[in-house]
C-alpha cells in the first residue's frame, strides 16, 4: 500500500469531501474519489470523505420499513443484500465485509432491534442507516485496494443529536439535528488516529442514549456540513452528478446558468426554492463557521463548479 509519505503537521487543515448516491454507485467514480482524496492529502490536508447510500438504496430501505408483512420485507431485503454483494464483486472487494450489516438487516426485518432503542421510529432509523453503513464499508475497501490508506469512521461516534424545543417524536429519530459548533475534541481524536483520510457515513448520528438517528432525507449534505463546521475545515466539497448550482433547475429550464460564485444568503435562497441540488439545511452550519462550500461534478472533476463562500460574490445573478 502506498502510504501518504509526508507526515502531516499536527495542525494540518481538514477538507471534507461528500459524494452522493450516483457517485458512489459506479465503479469508475471510485477512481476519481481516490484521486481527489489523495490530491487533497498532497496539499497537506486531512480528509474526511462522507458518502451517501448507493443510489436508490434509502428508498428501498424505506420500502422495507413500509412493507405490509414480513414475507414482503424479506423479499425486498434479499434483493437489496444481493445488490450490495454484486456491487462488491464489481468493485473487486470482498463481499464478506458486508456480513455484519447484512446480519443486522435480517435481524431488523425479522422484527428485532437494539434492545435499548425501542419503537417503530428507532427501528426505522436503524434500518435506514444500513445504506450508508454499507456504502462506506465498500468504499473504504475499494480505496484501500487502490492504495489509499483510509480509515472507516462511524459517524455515530462523531455526532450526538440534540433534541430541539417542541420536536416531534418522528423528527427526534428521523430528522434530528446536531449542534454544529467547532469540536476540538473531535478534531484531536481524529488527528491522533494517525490517518490522513477517513471515510464515513452521511445521514446518521446517535442520540444521547447511543441509538442511531437520521438527519432527514437528503441529510448527507448536512452531515458534510457538520463535519466541516465541527472540524473547522478549510472547505467542504459536495460532489454529485451536476456541474454546480444553477440559476434554475437545468432539467426544466434550458437556459439555466451555472453560478460560479455565491454568498451563503444567495445559495440559501436557491437551495430553498430551487432544484434540490443542495440540502437547504446544510448551509447555515457552514455560514456560521465561515467554511466555504464547493459544488462539483464527480464525472468531470476538472470543472470548476460553484463556490459558496462568506466573501462578496462577483457573479451575482
Ligand atoms: N441516503 C439518504 C437519502 O437518500 C441521505 C442522502 O443521500 O443524502 O435521503
Ligand atoms: Mg442529495
Q: Which atom of ligand 1 is nearest to the CA of 216?
A: 9
CA pair distance 188, 314, nearest whole angstrom: 36
Q: Which atom of ligand 1 is nearest to the CA of 20?
A: 7
Backbone angles phi, psi at 247, to 5 degrees: -65, -25
Nearest CA-CA partner of 186 in 172, 202, 198, 174: 198
Could you count the other beta carbons within 10 Å of the beta carbon of residue 21?
Answer: 22
Ligand nearest to the CA of 203: 1
At 317, the pLDDT band (50, 70, 90 cuts) reads very low
Name which residue sits closest to atom 5 of ligand 1, judged by CA: 218
> What are the angstrom distances between the C-alpha of 161 and each of 117, 176, 178, 211, 232?
15, 6, 4, 10, 19
Res 112: pLDDT? 67
At 274, the pLDDT band (50, 70, 90 cuts) reads low
Nearest CA-CA partner of 57 in 188, 202, 154: 202
3-60 per-position pLDDT tens digit: 444 578 878 999 999 999 999 999 999 999 999 999 999 999 999 999 999 999 999 9
Is the Cβ atom of 131 under 6 angstroms away from ligand 1?
Answer: yes
Asked if residues 30 and 199 have their Cβ atoms less than 8 Å apart, the reply is no
Summarize the confidence of residues 212-232 as an average pLDDT: 97
Res 273: pLDDT? 75
Q: Is 85 exposed, middle or buried (0-12, 13-18, 19+ CB in 10 A)?
A: middle
Backbone angles phi, psi at 37, to 5 degrees: -65, -45
Could you count the other beta carbons within 10 Å of the beta carbon of residue 90?
Answer: 12
Nearest CA-CA partner of 236 in 248, 228, 247: 228
Ligand nearest to the CA of 52: 1
Would the pLDDT of 238 be above 70? yes
Res 247: pLDDT? 84
CA of 3 to the centre of ligand 2 (A): 31
CA of 312 to the centre of ligand 1 (A): 31
Residue identified by cell 442520540 is 207
Res 209: pLDDT? 95
Q: What pTM did the predictor assign?
A: 0.94
Res 2: pLDDT? 44
Is the Cβ atom of 202 under 6 angstroms away from ligand 1?
Answer: yes
Q: Report residue 171 as a C-alpha cell.
A: 423528527
120-171 per-position pLDDT tens digit: 999 999 999 999 999 999 999 999 999 999 999 999 999 999 999 999 999 9
Residue identified by cell 432525507 is 217
Q: Report residue 199 as a C-alpha cell.
A: 471515510
Tally the residues of the chain.
317
Res 114: pLDDT? 57
Res 194: pLDDT? 81
Asked if residues 246 and 317 have their Cβ atoms less than 8 Å apart, the reply is no
Q: What is the dihedral of CA 156, 161, 167, 171, to 10 degrees?
A: -20
Nearest CA-CA partner of 125 in 91, 161, 100, 93: 161
CA of 276 to the centre of ligand 2 (A): 7
Is the Cβ atom of 180 under 6 angstroms away from ligand 1?
Answer: no
At 277, the pLDDT band (50, 70, 90 cuts) reads confident
Amino acid at each position: 500500500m502506498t502510504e501518504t509519505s509526508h507526515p502531516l503537521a499536527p495542525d494540518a487543515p481538514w477538507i471534507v469531501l461528500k459524494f452522493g448516491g450516483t457517485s458512489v454507485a459506479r465503479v469508475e467514480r471510485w477512481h476519481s474519489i481516490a484521486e481527489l482524496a489523495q490530491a487533497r492529502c498532497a496539499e497537506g490536508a486531512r480528509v474526511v470523505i462522507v458518502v451517501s447510500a448507493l443510489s436508490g438504496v434509502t428508498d428501498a430501505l424505506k420500502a422495507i420499513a413500509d412493507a405490509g408483512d414480513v414475507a414482503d420485507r424479506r423479499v425486498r431485503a434479499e434483493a437489496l443484500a444481493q445488490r450490495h454483494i454484486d456491487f462488491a464483486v464489481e468493485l473487486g472487494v470482498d463481499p464478506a465485509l458486508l456480513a455484519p450489516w447484512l446480519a443486522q438487516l435480517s435481524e431488523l426485518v425479522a422484527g428485532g432491534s437494539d434492545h435499548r432503542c425501542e419503537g417503530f421510529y428507532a427501528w426505522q432509523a436503524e434500518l435506514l442507516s444500513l445504506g450508508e453503513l454499507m456504502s462506506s464499508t465498500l468504499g473504504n475497501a475499494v480505496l484501500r485496494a487502490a492504495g489509499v490508506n483510509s480509515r472507516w469512521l462511524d459517524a455515530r461516534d462523531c455526532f450526538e443529536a440534540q433534541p430541539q424545543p417542541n420536536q416531534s417524536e418522528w423528527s427526534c429519530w428521523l430528522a434530528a439535528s446536531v449542534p454544529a459548533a467547532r469540536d476540538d475534541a473531535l478534531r484531536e481524536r481524529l488527528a491522533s488516529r494517525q490517518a490522513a483520510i477517513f471515510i464515513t457515513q452521511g445521514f446518521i448520528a446517535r442520540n444521547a442514549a447511543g441509538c442511531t438517528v437520521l438527519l432527514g432525507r437528503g441529510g448527507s449534505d448536512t452531515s458534510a456540513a457538520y463535519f466541516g463546521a465541527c472540524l473547522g475545515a478549510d472547505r467542504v466539497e459536495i460532489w454529485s452528478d451536476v456541474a454546480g448550482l444553477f440559476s434554475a433547475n437545468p432539467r426544466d429550464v434550458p437556459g439555466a446558468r451555472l453560478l460560479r460564485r455565491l454568498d451563503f444568503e444567495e445559495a440559501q435562497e436557491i437551495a430553498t426554492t430551487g432544484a434540490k441540488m443542495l440540502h437547504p439545511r446544510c448551509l447555515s452550519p457552514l455560514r456560521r463557521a465561515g467554511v466555504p462550500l464547493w459544488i462539483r461534478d464527480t464525472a468531470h472533476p476538472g470543472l470548476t463548479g460553484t463556490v459558496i463562500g462568506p466573501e462578496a460574490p462577483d457573479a451575482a445573478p
